[in-house]
Structure 1
């Protein structure tokens, strides 16, 4: 009976070792699957990133002409406004200088309203 118990214990130990091997293989398989999933996700992210980058470049190149056209229009409008301001300055320059000189030269001496006349 002791031999039979010993053999039963031996069988249990072998079964336990076999179960530990299976569990270890399952863990290794799970770890490998996680690594593969991460690598695949990284690859998909990179592909998506490249696709969006190309899409952005295409959008940018299609709208680049619009930007230069708008800049040209703004430059032209600015130039026209500057020319109008310069013309206005030239036309009113003499009149403004004359008014300033007249105001500086024209002196109307008066007593201040708070000053009372002192009778001597």
Structure 2
């Protein structure tokens, strides 16, 4: 009987140690996961910063090109405005009647 009683505290001690090890392993795993997540987030922000700069430069370049083309179209429109208005008015007011062709 004394043998059984002396074995119980030993078993409970082993289970306490085992439980403690499991908790420590879980805490270590959580810490490793948090570290890995932080490293990947840093990597992503660096990647995003690198590639957004290229997009920003391309966007600025495209905007400059669009502004140049808009200015060019505006200048051409101003220089030919009188002729266009004259031709439009002539087309509206000078009616040339043409008989329809026999089908």
Match of 1:117 in 2: none
Match of 2:27 in 1: 35
What is the alpha-carbon distance in structure 2 between the residues aligned to residue 86 and residue 14 of structure 1? 106
Q: Could you say which structure has the larger radius of gyration? A: 1
- Computed over aligned residues only, the root mean square deviation of the Cα atoms, in angstroms, reads 2.3
Runs of 4+ residues over 6 Å off in structure 1: none
Match of 1:77 in 2: 69
Q: Which moved more, 1:15-24 or 1:83-92?
A: 83-92
Structure-2-length-normalised TM-score: 0.73
Structure-1-length-normalised TM-score: 0.64
Unaligned runs of 5+ in 2: 97-103
Unaligned runs of 5+ in 1: 1-8, 107-120
CA apart distance, 1:29: 1.1
